[in-house]
Amino acid sequence: MTVGPGTQPGVAIGPMINMAAVEKINRHVEDALAKGAAIVTEKPTLPEGPQYVAPLVLTGATKDMELAGEETFGPVAPLFRFETEEEAIALANGTPYGLASYFYTENLKRAWRVGEALEFGMVGLNTGSVSMEVAPFGGVKQSGLGREGAQAGIEEYLEMKSFHIGGLG
């Protein structure tokens, strides 16, 4: 994955929004490494500038790591081990956040079962993209207060009122 200015062709990952975001990402990675995770990706050449972060895949992620309980908002993919579907769902749902989740399967029954069990505002099945203009964007739990985009986004600006009228006249 090429890291650089988002205006350049072929760039997949641009700079982080600010230095606080970079520091949070680095803190999450350092915490994970200190608790037994391992980096399994090669570090790409980063452009000059303080707000670029290398994309990382970490193996050996566990629930006691900061990145398991806080939203990282950076190019870090922690991989958690699980034995059963139920364990995977519990790991995913075991956080106070619920913006988006993603999973891969060719089994349609499993797709519906897992998709319904995941406590997230958006679920991607066999895709890493869940954002589009025709679908509402937003999370649940501590990841969302409402939706933006599509009809649901318009409804966020409206006040609902129920007006019941009894017999007149």
pTM of the model: 0.81
Q: Do domains 1-81 and 82-155 have the same CATH topology?
A: yes
What pLDDT was estimated at residue 165? Answer: 81
Q: How far is CA 123 from CA 29, 51, 104, 120, in A?
A: 25, 29, 11, 7
Per-residue pLDDT of the chain (169 residues; tens, 9 = 90+): 899 999 999 999 999 999 999 999 999 999 999 999 999 999 888 999 989 999 999 999 999 999 999 999 999 999 999 999 999 999 999 999 999 999 999 999 999 999 999 999 999 999 999 988 888 999 999 997 788 889 888 888 888 888 888 888 7
Q: What is the CATH number of domain 1-81?
A: 3.40.309.10
What pLDDT was estimated at residue 157? Answer: 85
Record: fold of 82-155: Aldehyde Dehydrogenase; Chain A, domain 2 (3.40.309)
Query: What are the domain boundaries of the chain?
Result: 1-81, 82-155
Q: Provide long-range contacts, Cβ within 8 A and 24+ apart, for 109-115.
A: 110/85, 113/85, 114/85, 114/88, 114/89
